[in-house]
Amino acid sequence: MPEPSLYIGPEALTALLAWLQSQPWRDIALVCDDRTWPVLGAAAEGRLREAGCSVRTMRLGGPGVVADEERIVEILQQAGAPGHLLYLAVGSGTLCDLTRFASHRSGRPFVSLPTAPSVDAYTSRNSPLVLRGLKVTVDAQQPLAVFADLEVLRSAPSAMIAAGAADVLGKYTALADWRLAALLWGEEIDGAIVREQYAALAQVAGAARGIGRGEPEAIAALTGALMASGSAMARWKNSRPASGAEHHLSHYWETMHLLQGRPASLHGAKVGLGALLMARAWARLRTLNAAQAATLMGAARPPDLEQERAAIASGYGPIAEAVFAAQGDLLPMAPERWQGLRERVVSHWDEVLAIAADVPSPEELEQLLLAVGAPTDPAALDLSAVEVADGLRYGHYVRDRFTLRRLEAALGLDLVL
């Protein structure tokens, strides 16, 4: 599929209508909620009707729309027969994820009209959904096009803008983890994608103060970076280019909140905090020289299956079995893989330190997060000290990805706690 066409600028509805002229669809299923209807939904419906389109508007009611079974069925039911429908998602992450999934499973395309620069998911293929109370990520489709109206995005709640920026700033640790996995665990990596992601990151770091103040060029830079990150994930066919240990922390906290029936805080805000914690680990890693790393590795033991199983049981309770089963080749770890990891850690320590050098210090990252307006205090995210510690203890089991947390475990260290 071609990359989505991307418009970031003023008068996005005019741009959408101009684009529609060259497209075959005149039957539009507009998905919005009570919050995005007055922001952009009403105007979109009006302009599309004026342009001769038939519009079925699905305004999802109630506070805090969640991307769950109920909403998926609500959208499919209201959309009626798929026919020659083009879905239009008017909203941020959740509405986009719902529309992405519902359109894809009914064999229809969709277009995104973001209302906040809050996540990097707009241009991606995946839909994170909450099914039977648990967060799962399912493969779906990219939008045909995204029309991002800068005036609308600038007027979004400042916490949502900050969350989008923090989601991008989390790439510092995500990219370091990917490079580490390629170096030590033999994972595939794409140099061009890594460079693009660092460029998107630099764009947001450079505009941090302006983002915090809601300046138009800074919001445009943030939006561009979010779209680039979503496209990178779509091209790589998974979230590796944008997600490492900081996302695992965020997913762990989110899963625990879901299991306890507590409301979720913004994804990007949790990622920002996760990145800050991981920046502390990277800073401590930088203090280890090659001789110390070799000594640690010499004394290290491979992961003990029963101990690991017990840790997963304490960390994940009712879903522990599923988490244990999803550990891939990290658990159980074949003896030859453990031996390979040990050898590579010792012989490539200089390269490990070179990767670590590209992660900002915790102080620098904290300044960037504060500049964009993202919280750095766990309490602001409804997280207790125990929950933060649990995230660090169990977050890396969220999926079968090699990250700094897995290296720490191999070295027999805990660099954050």
Q: Which is nearer to Zn ion, 149 or 167 (CB)?
A: 167
Helix, coil or strand: residue 158: helix
Binding test (CB under 5 A) with Zn ion, winner from 33, 74, 97, 167: 167
What token pair was written down for 384? Answer: 């207790």
Of 48 and 232, CB closest to Zn ion: 232
CB 3 within 8 A of CB 124: no
Helix-, strand-, coil-residue percentages of the chain, each rounded to 5: 60, 10, 30
Considering beta carbons, is residue 221 or 312 the nearer one to Zn ion?
A: 221
Q: Are 58 and 29 in contact, with CB atoms under 8 Å apart?
A: yes
| 390 touches Zn ion by CB under 5 A | no
CB of 121 to Zn ion, least distance (A): 7
Q: How far apart are CA 156 and CA 180, in angstroms?
A: 36
Number of residues that bind Zn ion (CB under 5 A): 1
CB-closest chain residue to Zn ion: 167
Report in angstroms how near the CB of residue 13 gets to Zn ion at its nearest.
27
Q: How far is the CB of 271 from Zn ion (least distance, A)?
A: 5
Residue range at the interface with Zn ion (CB under 5 A); choices 142-150, 162-170, 340-348, 385-393 = 162-170
Q: Give the SS3 label for residue 56.
A: strand
Nearer to Zn ion, 342 or 401 (CB): 401
Stretch that binds Zn ion, among 71-79, 165-173, 227-235, 258-266 (CB under 5 A): 165-173
Question: Closest CB to Zn ion among 41 and 274?
Answer: 274
What residues numbered 330-369 form the site for Zn ion, per CB under 5 A?
none
Question: 358-363: which pairs have CB atoms within 8 A and are 24 or more residues apart?
Answer: 358/172, 358/175, 358/176, 359/172, 359/173, 359/176, 359/278, 359/279, 359/282, 359/283, 360/172, 360/279, 361/279, 361/283, 362/276, 362/279, 362/280, 362/283
In angstroms, the CA 165 to CA 42 distance is 28
* From 53-61, 166-174, 312-320, 324-332, span contacting Zn ion (CB under 5 A): 166-174
* Cβ 126 to Zn ion shortest distance, Å: 11
Q: Given the DSSP bridges, would you call strands 5-9 and 134-139 parallel, antiparallel or unpaired? A: unpaired
Which residues face 90 on adjacent strands?
Answer: 113
The nearer residue to Zn ion, 36 or 173, going by C-beta atoms, is: 173
Q: Which positions lie near Zn ion, rule CB under 5 A?
A: 167
